[in-house]
Structure 1
């Protein structure tokens, strides 16, 4: 994250208004057609206070807001980018059919069934920035198997994240014919 980057500033979720634009230095509304990159696999995280979480994810982890669609205090859909990757964010307990299938980390004793892995250019600077922002480090920055330097932490609502300096190296990439033999 460069010092000149402007992040949205939501001090709490009551700053969003259905009668006006979101309070931000960015233009955050738009359509999927005006977003340059469309990834085919995107993690989607839900937060009780999605506006504050978006701010925090931008300042702590270096995400950039691409798109935020809100209805009053509810973030229906937000997309944040980091390098070539995209993260989708929404409000927990948004009243949708999907809502009843998901729990938040504080409802599971802090346990997760999955987490996000993000490759960053400068892992030392990223680690320092995340710690300054209050990320709870659960695995300190160190060399990890398979030959990658990284760390794990929790965000402000308890979601687990793994950050690494490079993609792990494996001896052989699976080929499509190897997968078809499994089915």
Structure 2
């Protein structure tokens, strides 16, 4: 059964009006840039939110003139705009609606996000649980966009949220916010070592074989198609052909069966 909603929150040490302004007007500063963080990562160089009801949430692309529609991807349309209190929008890329609330508490603002499947909807990609912690970095004073390194690790667990908590506690891996303590797992749990990402995904199946997929190295390359040709020419076994779901990627194994995922790098990465 398709999950009906997902929610998460962060607390920031600033007032609701400032938190709302930073969230909306400065989204391009706090949105982490990297191959898996856009819907068309091979072209995207930034993010923008147009203010007011009817405004668009946009991915910005490098090519073309200012204001040309082909140079943006509309991610959503704003349905409610209450500065310092509420931002709501209907997604243009899946069947979800999202509300982001800015509520005062002693010492700052609690920013809560709830992403829900719309009535009759079937296609939902719940990403805000993983994304909202990025905002806390900017609200805490980060002054420039954060980009992830070109080499990362993907780990697959039956319970990725519990695993993220254990890795943070036992090994000291960093996280930009408290890991949610519930069983409705986000799209991924994100830990980091410096500017390198450790991404934890749910292991939905455990295939047979000498090396089941429980981890993979992720490498971001400039030209995915050329890299694919090089891999196949030199004897790599392709276990997943090139696909495009936000980011473009393919997966191969080396001669001893280790899994490698190669992704098209974002222009800024």
Q: Which TM-score applies when normalising by structure 2?
A: 0.24
Q: Which has the larger radius of gyration?
A: 2
- Judging by fraction of residues, say which structure has more strand: 2
Q: Which TM-score applies when normalising by structure 1?
A: 0.34
